[in-house]
Structures are given as C-alpha cells and as structure tokens.
Amino acid sequence: MRKLTAARAALASIALGAFLGATTIVQPASAEEKKDFSVCWSIYVGWMPWGYMQDSGILKKWADKYGITIEAVQINDYVESINQYTAGQYDGCSMTNMDALSIPAGGGVDTTALIVGDYSDGNDGIILKGKDQLADIKGERVNLVELSVSHYLLARALETVELSERDITVVNTSDADMVAAYTTPDVTAVVTWNPLLSEILGMPDSHEVFDSSQIPGEIIDMMVVNTETLKDNPDFGKALVGAWYEAMALMEADDIDALTAMATASGTDIAGYKSQLDSTAMFYMAEEAVDFVGGEGLPETMTFVASFLFDHGILGTGAPSADFVGIEYPDGSVTGDENNVKLRFDSTFMQMAADQEL
C-alpha cells in the first residue's frame, strides 16, 4: 500500500512536474527506424501489468515476434517518469490523460495515447466530516494535494452543485499527511484517493459526498508513446499492444499467478489488489477501449481537463488559452488548436488487437 500511495502522491505533484517537464526537455525521442525500445511505468493499480509483462516474458515474446526489443522500466517517482519520457529518455510512459496533456504535450512533445487501459471509477473521492451533502462544502477549508487529480475532481464536483473554488478554500496537504490531518478538529473536508480514501472513510462521522464514479471516464490511465517514434516504427506499437491485451486476458480470467505477481509488486495481496480493481474501470477487452476512445464523451472530457489546466496555469509554458494544445481523436476531429496538435488518441493499434490482426 505504501508503494501505491507513493505513486499517487507523485501523480498528485502535477504542478511541479508540469513546470519541470516544460523546462527540462532536451530532445524528443529520436524519430527514426530502430530496433531497441524502452517504456517506463510507475506503481498504480492499472499499470501493474507492465511489470508483470516484463518479468513474465510476455513483453519479450511480443517484441521477438516483431524482431525488436522492448524493456519496461519501473520508475518509483511518477512525475520523474513523465519528465524522463518528455526529455526523450523513453519511447513511452504510463500516465493519466491530465498529465499527458500538461507535461509532454504542453511541453511540445507530440504524444500518442496508444493504450487506454482504464479510468478511475471511485478510487478518488471527497469526504466531509459531520456533513453528508456535497453542497455543505461551501465555506469549508478543503485539504487536498493541490493541482492533482484530487483538485480536478473537486473542481468538477463543485460544478454539479453550482459552486466554484471561490466558495471554498483549498489547503495544500501532502498525501503523506492526509490521514493524520483529518484526525485534527480543524480539518473537516478532504479530497484524496485510495487507499487513503477508504482509511479516512472508516473514521467516525465521515461521509463521502462525491467520487470519481460520478464523473466516469474523466481520470484516464494510459500508455503513451512518442508520436514520431510510433510513426517510424509501427511494430513497436503492435508489440506493446499485443503484450498488453495478453496480460489483460490473464487478468480477466482471474489468473492467480498474474494477479499474485501484480499484487505483490504493488505491496498488497490478491484481495487488496482486487479491491483496488473494484474501483477501477479496466478495459480488459480491446473493443471496450476502442469504443471508449471513439466515444462522444472523450472530447468533452479533454475540454474540461484543458480548461482546468489552463485555469491553474499548468497547460504548457505561456499558454494563452485553454485551446493552446490541440488534441486529436480517432475520427480526425480536434479540440483545441488544430495548428498545435500535440496529443493524439489513436485507436488504430487497439483496433488491430480487437480484430486479432497483431
């Protein structure tokens, strides 16, 4: 659990990552035909398959099929993993849709969402102490990791009760301090993620008044790759996607060896790992991911995300508006600036998996 918490803490440090990512770009990954590739990933329930694929040989098997090598490298610091990808040290990296837009895309690295693996479906939530309605949050000091997905969740929740951040006071609080802070009389409202969410909800007079299942599909977990690298090396994409859906098939089949390995690597047991999966909408089937990426809801979600990032000053250095970065969808449509498309949702390879053409 500590590993999961650490990873989500890193995930929550988006502001630092955004600025750091934008200022440490050395060169995007080289766009050229090549044989050796590497991707990075960090500990989170939906990304544990990458470690299993590396250790079990599944990734090697698929890379061998296409005559290439791929290494999936675990990086303990989530934001650092994104920064290293953005700097061109890796060809791909696991990250959320929000971070993909703010850090590599906002920093000018053309990035493709190759695999959309899951979305948070209750893993993130808002808790009030002594009150059980979201509207009761008005006037409260709300403890959360500022500029994280928790902050985004709060902003979206406030909209549902016609409130805004002007109606509350955000108190930046480390995830490491969140549980202890909640036990103090002064802290009456928090936004956080599992396993902290469950731990706080277990305390007396605690009420979850909103969670990510109420904005389904908005906090998305993905494997992104450098667009030029993918364009010049389609076999790289085929191997990654092929390996991913072989692992998904094992998870869906409740394969004990695979689930045990993923649970152990994430610092819990199978029961604990499955409880995390219960609030994670995994796309075990490629068809599900293709439908999700091609659905009408994704452009709306990404517009919400872009507005949030711009409003909080983390949509790329010097972004003049929320439309600064263009985002392309599988049908070719674009939200944002069509002349500055830097984030692309491409379901081509997932569709190949669905059609068993890999």
For residue 147, CA distances in Å to 170, 187, 295, 312 come to 10, 19, 27, 7
**pLDDT, position 20:** 40
> 């969808």: which residue's tokens?
329
90 phi and psi, to 5 degrees?
A: -135, 155
108 phi and psi, to 5 degrees?
A: 100, 5
Angle at 98 between CA 225 and CA 188, to 5 degrees: 145
Where do the structural domains in the chain lie, given as residue ranges? 36-119+219-355, 124-214
Question: Amino acid identity of 228?
Answer: E
Residues 6+ apart with CB under 8 A from 341: 110, 325, 326, 327, 328, 334
Helix, strand, coil percent values for the chain (each to nearest 5)? 50, 20, 30
Question: Amino acid identity of 57?
Answer: G
Superfamily of domain 124-214 in CATH is Periplasmic binding protein-like II (3.40.190.10)
Q: What is the mean pLDDT of residues 138-147?
A: 92
Q: Is the pLDDT of residue 331 over 50?
A: yes
- pLDDT per position as a tens digit, 63-83: 999 999 999 999 988 888 999
Q: Which two structure tokens, joined as six digits, stand for 160? A: 């549902």
> 């694929």: which residue's tokens?
53
Q: Is residue 320 helix, strand or coil? A: coil
**How far is the C-alpha of 108 from the C-alpha of 337, rounded, in Å?**
13
> 């490629």: which residue's tokens?
286
Q: For 36-119+219-355, give the CATH class.
A: alpha beta
Closest among 259, 254, 222, 252 to 350, alpha carbons compared? 222
**How far is the C-alpha of 164 from the C-alpha of 145, rounded, in Å?**
17
- pLDDT per position as a tens digit, 206-234: 999 999 999 999 999 999 999 999 999 99
Q: Is the pLDDT of residue 15 over 60?
A: no
For residue 260, CA distances in Å to 37, 49, 118, 149, 276 come to 27, 11, 20, 28, 14
Q: Kindly tell me the burial class for residue 95, based on how many C-beta atoms sit within 10 Å of its own C-beta (0-12, 13-18, 19 or more).
A: buried
Q: What is the mean pLDDT of residues 157-177?
A: 92
**How far is the C-alpha of 38 from the C-alpha of 22, rounded, in Å?**
22
Identical topology for domains 36-119+219-355 and 124-214: yes
Cis peptide before 195 (omega within 30 of 0): yes
Whole-model pTM: value is 0.84
- pLDDT per position as a tens digit, 85-133: 999 999 999 999 999 999 999 999 999 999 999 999 998 899 999 999 9
